[in-house]
Amino acid sequence: MTAQSPSGTPHQPSTPTTPSAPTESTESTESTAPTTPTTPTTPTGPLVRTAHELRAVGAGGPRAVVMTMGALHEGHATLIRAARERAGTRGTVVVTVFVNPLQFGAGEDLDRYPRTLDADLALAVDAGADAVFAPSVDEVYPGGEPQVRIAAGPMGERLEGASRPGHFDGMLTVVAKLLHLTAPDLALFGQKDAQQLALIRRMVRDLNFPVEIVGVPTVREDDGLALSSRNRYLSAGERRTALALSGALFAAADRLAAQEALRARATALPGAQERAGTRAEALSRLGEARSAADAHAVARASGGHGAGAVRAAARAVLDEAAKAEPPLTLDYLALVDPADFTEVTDDHAGEAVLAVAARVGATRLIDNLPLRLGGTASPEDPTFGATP
């Protein structure tokens, strides 16, 4: 997904892609500057099916991996280009395509998830992948579903985890397996799936995986909607309603920017060099002091600054969308600490993620925007939320 400004204007519009079946599964879709694809160098061609074949891929240089469940689109392509840029011409980029059965819960039809391997292979190679690792279920889980799994812990039970119990345990288990099988120096994931990214970073830190986790900004369509294969299944009316998700995020970011500007103005004081002078200068200083006081009063009257104002601005947009036809049905709106996805307090200062999930018709959509309270919105920072 392309990075967006706090006002909600996408910087880099994405290219329409072939539709795939709607799904509740989490996607990784990101953006970066395009680079020239390299020629695949694997002994068996770009497609590899087994861990044994994968070990023969690459010959020195850093290895980058992009993990997907297939049905690739432009969001995945830009993520692969980011990996290519980080790995360099002498490095290796591996894209994994594996529909992980452990991530599907009750009511989520594993059999309906789109399998488009030929198209995925072409897109991945064109974007710069050296190899596409598309293993069978038996290759990843020999002997059946694993008895030992990664537990996501308390963070995995919040927000998306509350809506989809067990999803993050399955996601972390397969990510751990694929990190072992691909042995990368760095792995790239999308900021669109912010909770997934935070959990992967936490797992890598807590379990001492020797890999750098890179977050890549969200890719957005021309109208600001976060890029997803599910967008293609929205009717024209549903799409208009769905724009409330990104609209709510951008409205919150705009409110935050305005509040921060007012706060800065309210705390500004005339310089010491201005303390002496003519009566006109004294009156000018008095006017500045009154202006600062007025700004402070306006900030308080408009919902305060920081977390309270952010939530109120986003909620107002979503409340209007709930009255639309067709309506938006909100799952959650949360302003959370990116370290553990707990709600931040009203006086929070520092990094935060404003996250939203909702249904429009039969389609469930998610979106989020990184913010810095007491500062500025930070949607383009790939290190946002990373623990030093």
| Strand partners of residue 191 | none
| Catalytic site residue from 11, 52, 76, 180 | 76
Name the helix (H) or strand (E) containing 384.
none
DSSP H stretches of helix in the chain: 51-55, 74-87, 117-127, 137-140, 160-163, 167-182, 194-206, 236-267, 279-301, 307-321
Residue 167: active-site member: no
Instruction: Please tell me whether residue 6 adopts helix, strand or coil conformation.
Output: coil
Q: Which of 106, 126, 107 is nearest to 118 (CA)?
A: 126
Residue 226 DSSP label = B
- CA terminus-to-terminus distance, the chain: 25
Name the amino acid, one letter, at 191.
Q
Number of residues that this document lists for the chain: 388
Distance CA 130, CA 117 (A): 15
- Distance of alpha carbon 303 from the chain centroid: 27
The residues annotated with a catalytic role in the active site are 76
